[in-house]
Amino acid sequence: MKTLKFYEDYLNKLEGFGQEDWVKDYIKLQEKPNFWTILEYGESDKPGHKSAYEIRSSRMIRWLLDANENHNLGNVFAYKLAKLVKDKEEINNKKDYIYDPGKNNKIEAVSEEHADIDVFYKDISQKIFIAIEVKQYAKEGIYEDGKSQLDKYEKAVEKLIKEYNQEIHSYYIFLTPLGDSPTNKNWTAISYKEFIELIDQVILNHISKSKDIYKEDIKKILLDFRDDLQRTLNILEKDTSYIEENFSDKDKKFTIELANEIWHGMDTGHMEEIRKLDKANNQDLKKLILLIRESISVQDHTPNPAAGILARKIYNYLSAGKELDYNTDIRYKEKERTSEIKESLINKYDLGLTRVRLTEGKGQGLNIYHKSGKHRIYLSADTHGNFPNDGIKIASTPGSKVFFTSKEIRNGEFQLEDELILTGKIRHKDRGGDKL
């Protein structure tokens, strides 16, 4: 039960956060009409749940690269990306890519069609391939065997080159907000900021000088995409020390509750109490809450002992192999945290499941595999003990980016506490703190 003073203090902290310069800029950017915000309208996307974002961004980049599309810019973006890769390479062994402002039927750009590569660009006339992996908040994908998704994509490109039986030069780009370094050294890290600079260059040196009757429309499309990339950078680059200095763990947990209330339209009365105290009638309160929630999610990766214990408890219940220790400081190798599921459980519940695997690193998640090899269940908890933190998911294929999320158990339905988890109990948030 929250007291009046708690709500007053929380509102004061919200208002103070809203006075941060970078927050004002972020809110202003959100208020600016933008095609990308229309695409997201009504989705209420959760932090870290941005596969749809990455898919849309990949398609946009594909459109920009395709010389035959109606932006009428030729291969300018592909040319500039290739040049950027060459400029960043210490050992330059890439073939020069020549700028061609016209359409070219020897150029093709595809999105998510060739071996799951986000954007794959082919210019047979100049014998150039460009592969781009696009990330927002997600990290480089590592498979069960320890290999990177980038290794897989590179092999797929090499196989295609052999099929063409030509000397084709390949550029590999790992596009992330902050220019994260890939594990595969054949891939070049490019940041959103660098891509934004490319957009600015194209607007200044090409579109502004163009005689195309639709150049203002093309410019608006590019500026909208530029602003959308900037929105992500605002989360990752800006100083969030105000949150760390002013919001206690209790405040952060409350923010997560409020965000869930906003996303799911739940009426717990928390927002109503805050609105009553808001004499200034601040229309940005919800935006501020969601921005703090997103900042917490993106930047706070502290392991939660209760989450690790729960994952190991479920693993031990399902596993036919050696039990894992509940001391979350103990880390296990791949083979040690992967096991067949108990035959007694499979027979009792007629399960079509075969294996269970504890995730690496913090060990706060589980993958449970179907006997067909085509599906897996994924569940996990977050830093603050919210379980499940991103739904209980079923992936359609191994390594797939496409997930189906359970509607029976909603995000953050349970609150984990290590002293309770050790005795087999968790809190159900909708039952007044009842221990189950």
What is the DSSP secondary-structure string of 230-275?
A: HHHHHHHHS--HHHHHH--HHHHHHHHHHHHHHHHT---SHHHHHH
Q: Binning pLDDT at 50, 70 and 90, where does residue 296 land?
A: confident
Q: Are residues 78 and 156 in the same domain?
A: yes
Please check whether residues 405 and 283 belong to one and the same domain.
Answer: no
Domain membership of residue 378 as a residue range? 305-431
Please give the tally of structural domains in the chain.
3
- Looking at per-residue pLDDT, the higher value among 61 and 306 belongs to 61
What pLDDT, in 10s, does the model give residues 15-41?
Answer: 999 988 888 888 887 777 777 766 665
Q: Check whether 10 has a pLDDT greater than 60.
A: yes
pLDDT at 8: 93
Q: Which of 212, 235, 258 is the last residue of a domain?
A: 235
Indicate whether 33 belongs to any domain.
no
Regarding whether 182 and 100 lie in a shared domain, the answer is yes
**Positive or negative: CA dihedral 367, 370, 376, 380:** negative
Mean pLDDT of the region 146-154: 87
> How far is residue 79 from each of residues 62, 96, 100, measured CA to CA in Å?
13, 9, 8
Q: Give yes or no for a contact between 324 and 332, defined as CB atoms under 8 angstroms apart.
A: yes
**pLDDT-based confidence at residue 155 (cuts at 50, 70, 90):** very high
d(CA 436, CA 420): 9
Q: Same domain for 81 and 221?
A: yes
- Same domain for 311 and 293: no
Indicate if the pLDDT at residue 407 is higher than 50.
Answer: yes
| pLDDT single digits (tens) 412-423 | 788 887 778 888
* Domain assignment of residue 112, yes or no: yes
Residue 28 falls within a domain, yes or no?
Answer: no
- 154 & 116 share domain: yes
Least confident of 80-89, 149-158, 169-178, 387-396: 387-396
Are residues 180 and 267 located together in one domain of the fold? no
Question: Is residue 50 predicted with pLDDT exceeding 50?
Answer: no
Q: Are residues 87 and 209 in the same domain?
A: yes
Clarify whether residues 295 and 309 are in a common domain.
no
Summarised one tens digit per residue, pLDDT across range 337-350 is: 899 999 999 999 99
For residue 409, the number of C-alpha atoms closer than 13 Å in the C-beta half-sphere is 16
Judge whether residue 431 has pLDDT over 70. Answer: no
Residue 46: inside a domain, yes or no? no
Q: Torsions phi, psi of 158, nearest 5?
A: -60, -40
Q: Is residue 42 part of a domain?
A: no
pLDDT recorded at residue 218: 95
Residue 320 lies in a domain: yes
Mean pLDDT of the chain: 83
263-267 long-range CB contacts below 8 Å, 24 or more apart? 263/44, 263/46, 264/44, 264/410
86 within a domain of the structure (yes/no): yes
Q: Are residues 208 and 246 in the same domain?
A: no
Residues 176 and 76 in one domain: yes
Q: Tell whether 44 is covered by a domain.
A: no
What 8-state DSSP symbol labels residue 203? Answer: I
* Same domain as 204, residue 178: yes
